[in-house]
Amino acid sequence: MKAIKMLGLAAVAALMAMAFIGSSSAMANNGTALCEIDPLMEEAGKHLDLCPEGFLVDHVHEETLEGAKGKLLSSVLNIECTVLFLGDVLTAGWLATNPNPLVISGKFTLSNCNSGCTATEENGPGEIKIVKEGHELAKVTFKYLWHLVCSGFINCRYTGTGLTGHGLGPLLSELETGDVLIAEQTIAKESGTFCPSTAKLDLDFHPLEPVYIGS
């Protein structure tokens, strides 16, 4: 009887271990999704950050706030421009076949720059990757090449590869639609003349419509 009891306990422990591993794997595969509505749903007493099918965001339109341009800060010149991004979601992170990160491919447009400067994106499309880190919280990384020309003497190309932003959905953001904040992150010079080897980007931009961060 004692041996049978021990075998029974061992079987229960094994089942519990399998359940834990399965649960952990499921959580790891939840992925990231952008949602048109609050994805926090309640099922069997549990809160799930699952975006309902039919409410997934597949096109993103983000821009800087009026009166709060993006800033490229350097030892030579501080450049301020309005920044716009239009992109399409390439992967739906909530699908088992498309794990994290969620990838958005699109185009950055920079306009209304100060100090007689112009800025354009080159070697596009640009790319944004989003990884959900918590409820309405995400890590946002960028890949792009911006060409800056100022008053005929500054001619620089800066790459945003590896640039990391802090994404907040509408439920945590101070803005009604959510936002992505990049606080003086270092970007590297790819080529150019009269350009510091590095500069810092300060950028806060937001979607035109509410975009929630789900799974």
Is 21 in the same domain as 112? no
**Domain of 153, in residue numbers:** 49-214
In a domain, 35, yes or no: no
Q: What is the mean pLDDT of residues 165-172?
A: 94
pLDDT, tens only, 188-201 = 889 987 888 888 99
Does the pTM surpass 0.85? The reply is no
Same structural domain, 87 and 136: yes
Residues 20 and 120 in one domain: no
Split into its structural domains, the chain has a count of 2
Q: For residues 194 and 121, state if they share a domain.
A: yes
Tens of pLDDT, residue by residue over 28-68, are 446 888 999 888 776 666 566 788 778 889 999 999 988 89
Average the pLDDT over 152-181 and give the result.
Answer: 90
Q: Are residues 137 and 89 in the same domain?
A: yes
Q: How many angstroms separate the CA atoms of 93 and 27, rounded?
A: 12
